[in-house]
Structures are given as structure tokens and as C-alpha cells.
Amino acid sequence: MARPKEKLLADVMVLVFRLNGRLLEQGDRLVERLNLTSARWQVLGALALAGRSLTAPQIASAMGITRQGAQKQLNRLMNEGLLEHRSNPSHERSPLYVLTDSGARTFAEADQLCDLWAADLGQAFPEDALHTTERVLGELLARLNRPLASLIGKRPKADCDPL
């Protein structure tokens, strides 16, 4: 075989980097008119998908970023009136966030645009190819969520110490 699996995988990695950039860029343009960016859109999405109020750390975790990163977008969305606080019965310093009417409307518009966009992009691909892609990327992600201690010759942290 001309391309060993490592090389194929390296190609996939490079594609992921490029795609990430393009997706964010096009996503930004897609929701520009709504005064959203990809980042703020994703926050609205986390709340809309959850269908209930969430705290900042919960939203961060749903987005796969740090709570500080999520907090920045939350503060901004609050200022713009797309979100509001609900007092959190089980944590007085950590409010729950919910979409305002304006926020829900804005997200619905973005979601419509996204469907059009995805339908347009998706028509080029056979269903099973998309499925395979999803499976591979998902499995890759799962493997990347484990540490790579062995390769870098770094000792595992104390709490991972072998008995």
C-alpha cells in the first residue's frame, strides 16, 4: 500500500485543522446578520439543546471548553439581552442561564440557516460515507481523550500511579 495508516491519519489531522478554520469562518458569516458569531451561537445552542437552564460550568462542559471561556460569551450574551439569569436554588453564587425570548428567536433563525447550509453541503455525500466519517472521528476523539503518557516519556500524574 502506498499510504500507510499513519500517513492517512496525518492527512486526516491536517484536514481537521483546515476544516475547523473554514467551518468557524463560514459559521461566522452565516450568523453575522443575527449579531452572532460561531462562539455565541454555540452557547445558545447548548441551552436550546438542553431545553433547561444551565450553569456556566455546565455550558462550558457541553461545549468542551473551559468555564472561563464559556463565561466570556455568557457575559456578552447577557449584555445583548439574549440570555438572562435565574436564581439557582442550589448555589447562590452560580446563577442558571436561560434564553430570553429574543435569544430563542435568534437561535431559531440561526438554526434554520444552519439546516439550509448543512443540506447544501451534505448533498454531495452518500449516507454511508458520512456515517463512516462520523464513526472514525468519534472514535478518534475518544482515543484523544485519554492521555498519551507513554509516547512523551512523561511520568503519569500521582493520581494515576501504578500500585
Partner DNA sequence: CCCTTAATGACAACCAGTTGTCATTAAGGG
Partner DNA sequence: CCCTTAATGACAACTGGTTGTCATTAAGGG
User: Within a 10 A sphere around the Cβ of 45, how many other Cβ atoms?
Assistant: 17
How far apart CA 99 and CA 40 sit, in angstroms, is 12
User: Which cell is 22 given?
Assistant: 473554514
| Residue 35 binding DNA, by CB under 7 A | no
How far apart CA 40 and CA 4 sit, in angstroms, is 40
Residue 151 CB, nearest distance to DNA (Å)?
19
| Residue 71 binding DNA, by CB under 7 A | yes
| Residue 40 binding DNA, by CB under 7 A | yes
Per-residue x/- marks for DNA, 90-119, CB under 7 A? xxxxxx------------------------
| Residue 148 binding a second copy, by CB under 8 A | yes
How far apart CA 106 and CA 103 sit, in angstroms, is 5
Secondary structure (3-state) at 86: strand
| Residue 105 binding a second copy, by CB under 8 A | no
Per-residue x/- marks for a second copy, 121-140, CB under 8 A? xxxxx-x-xxxxxxxxxxxx
